[in-house]
Amino acid sequence: MVTDGHNHTKHFSVDAEQTIDELITSAKELGFTRIGITEHFEIDFPEDGLDWQFDLNEYNETFKTWKKKAGNDLELLKGIEFGYQTHVASEIDRTASLIPFDVVLLSVHLFRGKDFYADRDCYKIPAKDLHKEYIGMMAEMCENCSNFDVAAHYDYINRYTDNLSDFVTYWECPKEFDRFFEALISKNKALEINTKSIQKHKERGFSRTLPDPDILNRYRKMGGNMICLGSDSHIKGSLAVCFNEAVEYLKSLGFTETVYFKDRKPYFETL
């Protein structure tokens, strides 16, 4: 089983419900020998009554006890997921060096400074324009930040739309995707396929649920070969959701490997 590199626990991610014990148990039941834990850390997030940061030193210390709990048959990778905004780019790069991480994820969780989980005004914009601006932000994030390993869930903008025909495609915004991939590939960073997005597309009745093949084909054609898989699990029982079909899909497109990060270095796994 290839590594699930993107998961959260309630101990450090304010929106997660699963405990580390539940996550370790799920991982062992599913036969994983390695998973990544990537807790949320938002810098200058809009006020919503929640604390989207945690004490990095406490995390570093706690992780040692988690590794012991997991034992020798399950390796835990210590990660973090930063939320990108233009004005926090240098602060992300600085913060990512404060403790030793295995893997650093970058995400865009806001659109024009608003959390679209809570405020869905952005969905009044035509889908094509919305996607173009969002992928433009993904590109900017990868251009402006350096101290990261993975660009997470490029399709997150679609998670809360009410319009079931909306789907992020390459041909809506080829220039933005090319900028995004150029930055990733030139910096040796990885592109994440977020399998929770696939599950959300299914749950919500989308006609298409897997990533647009033109996106992945273009990434590969430009020289991209670093794909990470992450289920972005927050609750018990959601580890590795839709993993098998994502793996089969990648294989069908000609990908032969995925990648995970340890000590900030990439390791490839055969699909």
Interface stretch with Zn ion, choices 23-31, 79-87, 173-181, 262-270 (CB under 5 A): 79-87
- Angle at CA of residue 16, ends 10 and 21, nearest 5°: 45
How big is the site for Zn ion, counted in residues (CB under 5 A)? 3
Interface stretch with Zn ion, choices 60-68, 103-111, 182-190, 245-253 (CB under 5 A): 103-111
Q: Is residue 42 a contact residue for Zn ion (CB under 5 A)?
A: no
DSSP 123: G
Q: Which of 107, 158, 231, 258 binds Zn ion (CB under 5 A)?
A: 107
Nearest CB to Zn ion, comparing residues 22 and 178: 22
Nearest CB to Zn ion, comparing residues 17 and 178: 17
Distances (CA, A) of 255 to 53, 213, 220, 271: 36, 12, 8, 8
Nearest CB to Zn ion, comparing residues 51 and 221: 51
Nearest CB to Zn ion, comparing residues 75 and 232: 232
Nearest CB to Zn ion, comparing residues 107 and 238: 107
**Crossing angle for the helix pair 174-186 and 127-144, to the nearest 10 degrees:** 20
Nearest CB to Zn ion, comparing residues 198 and 253: 198
Q: Is residue 232 a contact residue for Zn ion (CB under 5 A)?
A: yes
CA distance 46 to 49: 9
What letters, b where the CB count within 10 A reaches 16 and e where it falls short, cover 41-78? Answer: bbbebeeeeeebebebeebeebbeebeeebeeebbbbb
- What minimum distance in Å lies between the beta carbon of 6 and Zn ion? 6
Residue at shortest CB range from Zn ion = 107
Contacts of 126 (CB under 8 A, 6+ apart): none
Interface stretch with Zn ion, choices 91-99, 107-115, 165-173, 259-267 (CB under 5 A): 107-115
- What minimum distance in Å lies between the beta carbon of 263 and Zn ion? 21
- What minimum distance in Å lies between the beta carbon of 137 and Zn ion? 13
Positions that interact with Zn ion (CB under 5 A):
81, 107, 232
